[in-house]
Structure 1
């Protein structure tokens, strides 16, 4: 059995997430941006600027304008719901895998369509959505009008709890629609989200068959986050651990140990170098590396767990990453083109690390197309502020 150190695992993950100290590279383009997003299994995009920063930090020379061009013009990225049902930017070329895998997962416990819609009504709503967004970007209100016109007034009944409001009945099928590749996000119209069809990104779009898609997704996950366990994959995808264990058992994987703990990698992906993890990076809210890497106590050692996790959940704080582990938190406040970055290290930074931090803050400004300044001090805002 292959025996690995945490340092070997951390160094490989950093390299595959393109988080090693960046070197001079070719001019960035939409295709390279999509390749990096594919390698990291998607960029969390509930906060658009965080997704732009996640991607930009991994592709030297990239700005938010290039990420937006890849998404809305070149369409090498697509905005939809990915792991855990959360909004992600995914590589458009990976969408058949994602949709095939998501539709093969156990139904989430929070699925509400079965309560508010009959199977027949769900079919009608999904068909109406597909027809309505085939050649259009529609807001929720516009989509409601189109669906009601195609199905009947029952689809617009305000029966679905929505914070202090109620949503129309058809919205109960939204999870099935995004998971099944019927719908994805279109460009915002002002402050309103729009929805459209994935076929506008991939004209010949068809989901990959479930078993093949699940195998491809596990392989992609292990490439970015391995070695990993079924329980860690289950947490990443929000599926039952027992189901994930059966899935891992069905695939061609190799068992390894990481300082005595069992984990798995793809059978043909067992190479690990002896290089040490290195470099200093500023990762934004819900960056894929901070959320997806386990064991969490290794990534958030000591004081980092108390300071940078919120109830054990990663991603609620932007983090300072030093040599592959969390070593502080940070926050940015923007006013026009001015971006004030406050970094709270949890350990003393040496002279080289301080220089690297200054360069990283400058890079944050370049990606977000502003002028960034650095303050080292206490981050006073709470999680997800």
Structure 2
């Protein structure tokens, strides 16, 4: 059995995530096997891709590229996926059973009782309703209002902020990809439209495709555990180990803890390239989505700086470690980045970080930029 420490694991993950910039075409990045989460106001997806490819990308290049599709997918969050992969996500994300459906909806007993139907039927009913009403491009609010009118009352709730009754937000997010609906890239507010070739609303989980998502998690964020993969997919460890656990895994010990990696990645784990890259990772970057945060950042106080309940900062990656946090503010022409080191950062690394900040400004379309070290 291979024994590794966290530094070797991080070196492997940095390479697996494409952070050495050895892939020139963003559509070929391995992180797209799971998708890249997007927060439009903070340009998270385009910055994540720009951290991985040599050239400077722009938001327009991403939103206008037909090879990418934006949609609510994993955990109900907006992600960019390869367009060729997106239709198949529907049956991969379809819950395994009623308990799994409730877990993905984050519903409590009271929600289930109010719905008056099993979890799977809740999601299927919502997906069929959305498929019916989203027959043209429309905002999330318009679609929510329309589908609420044709759904059973138990699938909606009063929204104090809007002053109206809407379909449960997470239910809408979970059901939308199953209905063959994507998000319009770059649109604010969130805007829905139907896929050109809509698959039918699934009636069962595609176990091979769902197992593939678990395998992709282990390939990108491994060695890892079933509990880690389950958290990423917003399901339970029991569902992952019971029906979705790949059979082509090798057990590894990470600082004495049992974890797993796809067997065809063992050579890369045993001899990963030196993690010398300096990168400014945006909030919700794929690298930061690993569920074993103590592996990424052992110090609990430092973890609190990088992962907030609301408003995560970006992270400074240098020489194989997450060594700082960063935030930005802007005017019409100027972007200012404030970098807060978590540990002492030597001058050569600071210089490389400032070069990366220039890239961030170029990607976001700012003519001027300034870096402040806090």
1:54 maps to 2:52: no
Cα distance change of structure 1 residues 242 and 374 upon mapping to structure 2, 3 Å threshold: same
Q: Distance in 2 between matches of 1:252 and 1:9?
A: 19
Which residue matches 2:37?
44
The one of 238, 244, 255 aligned to 1:259: 255
Q: Secondary structure at the match of 1:270?
A: helix
The one of 280, 283, 307 aligned to 2:278: 280
Cα distance change of structure 1 residues 372 and 254 upon mapping to structure 2, 3 Å threshold: farther
- Cα deviation, 1:266-295, whole Å, max 9, x if unaligned, reads 13332121533222111111112112263x
Q: Distance in 1 between matches of 2:95 and 2:124?
A: 18
Cα distance change of structure 1 residues 167 and 88 upon mapping to structure 2, 3 Å threshold: farther
Q: Distance in 2 between matches of 1:107 and 1:158?
A: 14
The one of 166, 175, 178 aligned to 1:177: 175
Listed as ranges, the gaps of 5+ residues in structure 2 are none
Matches within 5 A, 1:137-286: 137-143=137-143, 147=147, 160-170=157-167, 173-187=171-185, 191-197=188-194, 199-200=195-196, 202=197, 210-247=206-243, 249=245, 251-271=247-267, 272=269, 273-286=271-284
- Cα deviation, 1:76-133, whole Å, max 9, x if unaligned, reads 2222223222222222222244322210341134345773475889766533422333
- Give the superposition deviation at 1:250: 5.8
Q: Secondary structure at the match of 2:305?
A: helix
Which residue matches 1:98?
89
Partners of 2:158 and 2:164 within 8 A in 1 = yes
Partners of 1:157 and 1:169 within 8 A in 2 = no
Partners of 1:4 and 1:256 within 8 A in 2 = yes
Q: Distance in 1 between matches of 2:368 and 2:213?
A: 37
Partners of 2:329 and 2:335 within 8 A in 1 = yes
Query: Which deviates further from its counterpart, 203-212 or 232-241?
Result: 203-212
1:126 maps to 2:127: yes
Q: Distance in 1 between matches of 2:82 and 2:331?
A: 31
Which residue matches 1:108?
102
Which residue matches 1:69?
64
- Cα deviation, 1:142-186, whole Å, max 9, x if unaligned, reads 4356547xx75x769995133534554545752452252432212
Partners of 2:218 and 2:224 within 8 A in 1 = yes
Partners of 2:144 and 2:166 within 8 A in 1 = no
Cα distance change of structure 1 residues 230 and 155 upon mapping to structure 2, 3 Å threshold: closer
Q: Distance in 1 between matches of 2:147 and 2:359?
A: 45
How many residue pairs get matched? Answer: 357
1:2 maps to 2:2: yes
- Give the superposition deviation at 1:352: 2.2
Partners of 2:333 and 2:367 within 8 A in 1 = yes
Cα distance change of structure 1 residues 205 and 3 upon mapping to structure 2, 3 Å threshold: farther
* RMSD after superposition: 3.2
Q: Secondary structure at the match of 1:341?
A: strand
Which residue matches 1:382?
none
Partners of 2:87 and 2:198 within 8 A in 1 = no
The one of 47, 60, 70 aligned to 1:79: 70
- Cα deviation, 1:308-347, whole Å, max 9, x if unaligned, reads 2336x9x822111112321111111111121111111123
- Give the superposition deviation at 1:364: 0.5
> TM-score, normalization: structure 1?
0.80
Partners of 1:35 and 1:91 within 8 A in 2 = no
Which residue matches 1:383?
none
The one of 337, 343, 367 aligned to 1:341: 337
Listed as ranges, the gaps of 5+ residues in structure 1 are 27-31, 379-385
Which residue matches 1:29?
none
Q: Distance in 1 between matches of 2:242 and 2:262?
A: 16
